[in-house]
Each structure stands twice: as structure tokens, then as C-alpha cells.
Amino acid sequence: MATANDADDNVLVRVENVVKYFPVKAGGFIKHTVGQVHAVDDVSLVIERGKTLGLVGETGSGKSTLARCVAGLIPVTSGKVYLNGTEITKLSRSAMRPLRREVQMIFQDPYSSLNPRRRVGAIIGDPFAIHKTATGAERKRMVQELMERVGLNPEHFNRFPAEFSGGQRQRIGVARALALRPKLIICDEPVSALDVSIQAQVLNLLSDLQTEYGLSYLFIAHDLEVVRHVSDKVAVMYLGRIGEAAPADSLYSQPRHPYTVALLSAAPAADPDAAAARQRIILTGDVPSPIDPPAGCRFHPRCPKAQEICGQVEPPLVTHDDLEISKAGPPAGWQSADTVRPGEPGIAGGETHVTACHFPVVPGETLASARTAAIAAEREPA
Amino acid sequence: MSISTELEFDAHLAEEGQSSGGPVQGRTQWQLTWRRLRSDRVSMIALAVIVIMVLLAIFAPAIAALTHHPVNMAYPVNGENEDGNPVPPGTNGFLLGTDSTGRDLLVRVLYGARISLFVGIVTTLIATVLGVAVGLMAGYFGGIIDTVLARFTDAVLAFPYIVLALALAAVFGPSLTIIVVMITFFSWAGIARIVRGQTLSIKEKEYIEAARSLGAGPFRIMFFDILPNLLAPVLVIGTLYIPNAVVFEATLSYLGLGVQAPTPSWGNMLSDAQNFYQVAWWYLVIPAVALLITTLAFNLLGDGIRDAMDPRTERLIAARRMRRRLTRRNARQGNKEALSGLTAGGAAAAETRKKG
């Protein structure tokens, strides 16, 4: 894959086959590994310059782990992360230091992401202190500029985080992330701890800053409407893998992965008539344990469209331009990965709509009926 | 009822600060703690006792000069009765009596306070610095560093200190330096263990991750991000370690392993006095009371600080204030009924606090 010329084209971050397993240890005196949590399993994606890639998924789907791998906060088990064409996964801490300026994070919890014992001026000034870019009066001036830019009263630099509201604290987090003028800001559920009205303010601030500084965002959330509002591209994660990725409009108007369809059907609708009219797909069972993820498609134990092959062959992330065949069901003699209806292999975060599913949902298909049919088929032999 | 009053009051203050627009100094944890501590009568008395003790110790030579009785000067004529025993307090200008060789007990107790407080404070300071350093490193780095440091800490805590004290005193000969080294050696481990535990919990906070994502190194994170959060528990435990060190010093001196005669120390005074308690009770009681008051004051102050640091005690203090306010009002109105009801409520709150 082309990587060296990333610096020239419009790709800022390229994630290639990143895997992150966390060992599960047991034993009192002598610890030994009894299993691996498959937090992120073979994920590839790109983040384009000046664009926002939304990452959605349930709790435990590996969104935050992936974000931390991209930020270089935790080492990857395997795979590569390129920033501006430079591989950052193998860099030492000192070599990583200058690159830290390029990638910053905004955290979910505005209460625990700010040190309660330090004044706001010190917190926002930290990036300058760590990278020795400004000291004394200059640092204070820059901190106050940042505070003003994110909509805080610059006179409040002497206060403690506890004296601010949740929205104001999140603005402090934004100011801190912005201090070093990064190229990429990873927003790890930046608004999920805030009131809806405050959410809108913070999202608008992020959007303004993107226009002003040409920032790229990796925006993680579990609120689909928030992601739709801010994202250019959206990727859906389930159990450590990307199930579907597409430009936001395409994903929301034509979801192809059954999981995406179910996820979208679960989003609350503001209009009561629309809420009553839509078909809610209720998935059965729980998310399987990431320590022992299911074989084949990760979603198949809960998928209303699951067939035999789904539990055997892992579907690759491909484009599906013509969905007629899958609508008709698997062709006769469907046995192996070779006969999976091929699409062009695609990468998440690009312009194409890619789906990792053997039987993508086609426009007009209703999954609720597919589920009913599946249940009926199950009962029939008995 | 009392809770909401306090909160509204605080919210009102915060609003005031906001509207003024000028640079606003946040009310720090320390200011809040001090405010709570000030309303705690026991802590304030303990603090006053400690301050007086320290002043007396510092100005012991001046007080000795006032009495015209140098610390090691024996007065065989005025300071002893016909049988050669100590004279009781108030005799012949000896305010607190004399000891077995006719020396002024007041002056000697004050000089003993110098030793006790010096040992208590110095050893606690050194032990705190050591304990914080070890605990921070063990907790932050984890892995093999943690295993080595934590097991060493446990080994120190498990050591029979009197045995080691006997051995060290036998090898090096008893001296103040040996006392300080020994007490420090047995004090840092407890602090290290608490600091390690705190560090383990703090390092999982998101702001630590935020600091790492900014590119902060481990030492910057330890000193700028973790240490400020440790100061409160360390202050409390430090205050509670001072009386331990004071008692430890007295124990060693009592056993003859610590401060050596003729230098006075509460421990060696007690040791000398036990042969005279039938003829001179003050000789035993006065150093013992000095030791008791000092350790009690430090312990009470430490407890008070711990409570004052705990935001949950805010409501107890609020209730206490409310009670006082009501007491005053009731005194005017002569309404005793409401008072008794509220006192019962306060007692119940104190009970829950003890349980918690």
C-alpha cells in the first residue's frame, strides 16, 4: 500500500491492520496469561486532512482502544500507524515527543480529565511547559488567548477545575488540546457527559476550530446523531472490527451492515410519528466476550440475516456496488471465501462505502421480517 | 436543612466572584480545609498546645535563664531535702520541683521537649520525603520496580524494631544520630505503602493520560500531576507519625539506647524517675504528662486535619454551626425543645461518621 506519499496526498493518518490485545492474567503469586482481550482486531482506516472521521460502536467495541493506539498512548500488538507518512508505532518515547504535538486528545469525562489540584492556567499551559515553547508572561498570554478562543473568560485562569461547569471544563480540555496547534485531535466521546444544549455548543466550537485551523478529527461517540452532525466519514465498530464505513450521508441513508441497520433503528427519533413508524430491530443476546470472539463474522450470533457461512468465513471489508445477488441469497454451492460475492477491497475512512458482510442489507429490505423468517425457519423442523 | 443553607451560601459567593469580572482567585482545597479545621474546637486546642510546646522548646534556654537554673546544674542544697530526695514543686524557687540529683525539673522537661520535638519532626520529614519517593516510584512504574520496592517496604514493616535498635545501639553506641536514623528507617515504610496505594488509583485518572498524550515524561507526571493529589493524605499521615516518633524516641531513651545522661530527654527522665516515685511523684508525672500532652495534641490535630480534608464532613460542620446558632437563638427565646431535637440529630450524625 502506498504510504510514503501520504505526506503529499490528502491522507493525514493511515492505520494498517492494527491489532491490540490485552492479556488477561490470573494466579496469585505467579501471574500467567490465561487469555487475550481482542480489543482491536485487524483494523485499517484512513483519516483525511481537514476532515472528521466518526467512529461509532457500543461500549467495549474497541473505539477508545483504537484511538489510544492512534495517539501513541498504548503500544499496538501488531500493525502500523502512519502519521503524515511516518510510522509512529515503532518510535521510542523521545522520538515520539515532537510527533505528540501533531496529535492531541479530548477526553470523555470533563471531571476526571482535568487535575483537580491544579489551576486552569497551569493545565492549559502544560503543553507549552512540556514542549518548552513559551514561558512566563508569554505563556500566560497564550493561555489567555486560548481561553478566549474556546469561549472562556480569560480572567478565570487562576481558578480550579471544580469551579467550572461541565461544558466549561470540556472547553478547558479543548483549549489544552489546541495549545500546540495539532493536525489531528482525537475526541473520545467529548460530549457524551454533557447536557444536550451544552453538547451543541461544544460541537459547534469544535466545528469552528476545524474550519479555522484546518484540523482533522477522529470523533468517537456512541450517539449516532452527534456523529452524523459532525462527521464527513463514519466507521462502525463491533467487537474490535470495522463492520461498515462510508461517507456520513451514504451510511445513514443506506446502511448495509445488519448491525448498522440495527444501531440506526435504535437511535431515538425526535418526531413521535416517525418514532412510531420506524421499525425497531431488537437484537437478541449480548455482545459476545472479546476474550473469545466468535469465529467468522463477529456479528453472526446476533445477526438476523446470519447464514451458515457467516460463522465460518470472516467477511472482508469490500465495496458492494450491485447488491442484487446478495438480496437473492447465497448462490448455489456457496462454500468458501472464494465464492463470497467479491467486491473491491476497500478501506474505511475513504470515499467509498465499504461493508464487511456476506449478505449486506439492500435498500428496501426490512430486517425485522428477516428476523421473523429466521425464527420461523428455526421452529419449523421441531 | 443545614446542608442547603451552607450550599446556598457557597453558591452565592461563587456568583459574586463571577460577576465581579476581575482575576478570581479560586478557593483552594487548603483554604476550605483551614475553614473547616478552624470550626473544630478540639483541633484548634490541639494546635494551640503544639504551638505552645514548640515555643517553649525553642525558648527553653531563655526560660532556663529566667529561673537561673542551667539545665545540667545540680543543687545539692536547695534542690534536695534532708534525705537527699527531690524537692516538691514550688519549693526553693523550683517551679516543678527537682530530680534525683537536685536539678530543676521544669528546665529539664523543656530541654527534653527540644529533643522530643526535634526527633519527632525531623524524622517525620525525612521519612515522608523517602516514603513519598518510594511509594510514587513503586506505584507509578509498577512491574518489577513495584515488586522490589513494595516487598522491601513490607520487609521493613515486618522487622522487630526494638531488636534492631538494640543491635544498632550496641554496634554504634547510643546517640541522637542513631535515633534519628533508626526512627526514620522504621517510619518511611508505612508512608510509602499509603502513597503507593494512592498513586495506583490516581495514575488511572484521565488527566494522567492527558498529560501523557501531551508528551509529559514520567517524572513530570509524578511531580506535577500526582504529587499535588497526594499532599492531603501525606499531611494527615505525617501529623500522625510525629507522635509515633516522639514515643519511639522516649522508648529508646527509656531503655537507655537513646539520649544519654546528662542530656535530658523525656524517656531517660522517666527511666530515672521510676526509682523515686514513692518519694517524688512529680519526678515521674511531669515528664509523663509532657509526653502525653504532646502525643495527644498531635494525634487530635491529625484526626482533625483528616476530617477537615474530607469534604463529607462539611455537613457535620455545617450542622455544628447551625446548632451553635440555634443555641444562641434559643437562649434568647427560651425555647429548649428545638435545641434538644437538633442535638439528638447531631449525635446521630456523629454516630454515622464514626461508623463510616
Domain spans in chain A, listed from the N-terminal domain onward = 4-26+36-241, 257-379
Q: Give the cell for residue A294.
A: 466468535
**Contact flag A163-B206 (C-beta cutoff 8 Å):** no
CA distance A37 to chain B (A): 19
Alpha-carbon gap, residue A111 to A88, rounded angstroms = 30
B277 near A CB under 8 A:
no
Same structural domain, B74 and B159: yes
Q: Which residues of A touch B144 (CB under 8 A)?
A: none
pLDDT the model gives residue A4: 45
Q: Does residue B84 come out as left (phi exceeding 0), alpha (psi in the -120 to 50 range) or beta? A: left
Same structural domain, B165 and B188: yes
Residue that wins the pLDDT comparison between A337 and B29? B29
DSSP A38: E
Residue range A125-149: mean pLDDT, rounded: 88
Which of A188-192, A308-312, B55-59, B120-124 has the lowest average pLDDT?
A308-312
Same structural domain, B254 and B329: no
Same structural domain, B295 and B354: no
pLDDT band at A342 (very low <50, low <70, confident <90, very high): low
Residue that wins the pLDDT comparison between B329 and A75? A75
Same structural domain, B318 and B294: no
Residue that wins the pLDDT comparison between B132 and B29? B132
pLDDT the model gives residue B340: 52
User: Could you tell me how many CB contacts below 8 A there are between chain A and chain B?
Assistant: 80
Residues 217-256 of B with CB under 8 A from A: 217, 220, 224-225, 228-229, 231
Same structural domain, B219 and B174: yes
Give the count of domains, chain B.
Answer: 2
User: pLDDT tens digit string along A198-230?
Assistant: 888 889 999 999 999 999 999 998 888 888 888
A225 near B CB under 8 A:
no
Instruction: Please check the confidence at residue B245 and state whether its pLDDT lies above 70.
Output: yes
User: pLDDT tens digit string along B85-132?
Assistant: 787 787 777 888 888 888 888 888 999 899 889 999 999 999 999 999
Tell me, yes or no, whether B39 lies in a domain.
no
CA distance B296 to chain A (A): 31
A114 near B CB under 8 A:
yes
Q: Which of B23, B209, B228 sits opposite A117 (nearest CB)?
A: B228
Residue range A288-314: mean pLDDT, rounded: 83
Instruction: Please check the confidence at residue A57 and state whether its pLDDT lies above 80.
Output: yes
Same structural domain, B291 and B322: no
Q: Which residues of B touch A101 (CB under 8 A)?
A: 215
Residues 147-206 of A with CB under 8 A from B: 153, 155-160, 162-163, 173, 176, 180
B143 near A CB under 8 A:
no
pLDDT band at A364 (very low <50, low <70, confident <90, very high): low
pLDDT the model gives residue B10: 41
CA distance B23 to chain A (A): 5
User: pLDDT tens digit string along A70-107?
Assistant: 988 888 888 889 988 888 888 887 888 888 888 999 98
The CATH code of the domain that includes B220 is 1.10.3720.10
Residue range A232-259: mean pLDDT, rounded: 88
Instruction: Report the residue of B19, B32, B203, B207 to disrupt the A interface, i.e. the one with the largest count of A CBs within 10 Å.
Output: B207
Angle between helices B105-141 and B266-273 (to 10 degrees): 130
Q: Which helix (H) or strand (E) holds A41?
A: strand A32-48
Same structural domain, B215 and B320: no
A107 near B CB under 8 A:
yes
Same structural domain, B342 and B227: no
Same structural domain, B320 and B282: no
Burial class (CB in 10 A: 0-12, 13-18, 19+), B279: middle
Q: Chain B residue closest to A119 (CA)?
A: B26
pLDDT the model gives residue B54: 93
Residue range A178-192: mean pLDDT, rounded: 90
Q: Give the cell for residue B83.
A: 534525705
The DSSP string of A113-180 is SS-TTS-HHHHHHHHHHHTT---HHHHHHHHHHHHHHTT--GGGGGS-GGGS-HHHHHHHHHHHHHTT
Residue range B220-239: mean pLDDT, rounded: 88
Q: Is the dihedral of CA A150, A151, A157, A159 positive or negative?
A: negative
pLDDT the model gives residue B20: 40
Tell me, yes or no, whether B28 lies in a domain.
no
Q: Is the dihedral of CA B149, B153, B154, B156 positive or negative?
A: positive
Tell me, yes or no, whether B37 lies in a domain.
no
**Contact flag B213-A96 (C-beta cutoff 8 Å):** no
CB atoms within 10 A of CB A289: 13
Same structural domain, B99 and B217: yes
Q: Which residues of A touch B205 (CB under 8 A)?
A: 112, 115
Tell me, yes or no, whether B2 lies in a domain.
no
Tell me, yes or no, whether B17 lies in a domain.
no
Q: Does residue A42 come out as left (phi exceeding 0), alpha (psi in the -120 to 50 range) or beta? A: left
CA distance B350 to chain A (A): 28
Say what percent of chain B tops pLDDT 70: 83
**Contact flag B215-A119 (C-beta cutoff 8 Å):** no
What is the ipTM, given to two decimal places?
A: 0.78
**Contact flag A163-B25 (C-beta cutoff 8 Å):** no
Tell me, yes or no, whether B217 lies in a domain.
yes
Residue range B324-348: mean pLDDT, rounded: 61
Domain end, chosen from B289, B309, B329, is at B309
Instruction: Please check the confidence at residue B278 and state whether its pLDDT lies above 90.
Output: no
Same structural domain, B284 and B207: yes
Enclosing domain of residue B348:
312-356
Residue range A323-328: mean pLDDT, rounded: 48
Q: Which of B14, B207, B213 sits opposite A112 (nearest CB)?
A: B207
- CATH class of the domain comprising A4-26+36-241: alpha beta
Q: Name the average pLDDT for chain A.
A: 81
Alpha-carbon gap, residue B221 to B137, rounded angstroms = 11
- Cis peptide leading into residue B262 (ω within 30°): yes
Alpha-carbon gap, residue B208 to A206, rounded angstroms = 23
pLDDT band at B315 (very low <50, low <70, confident <90, very high): low
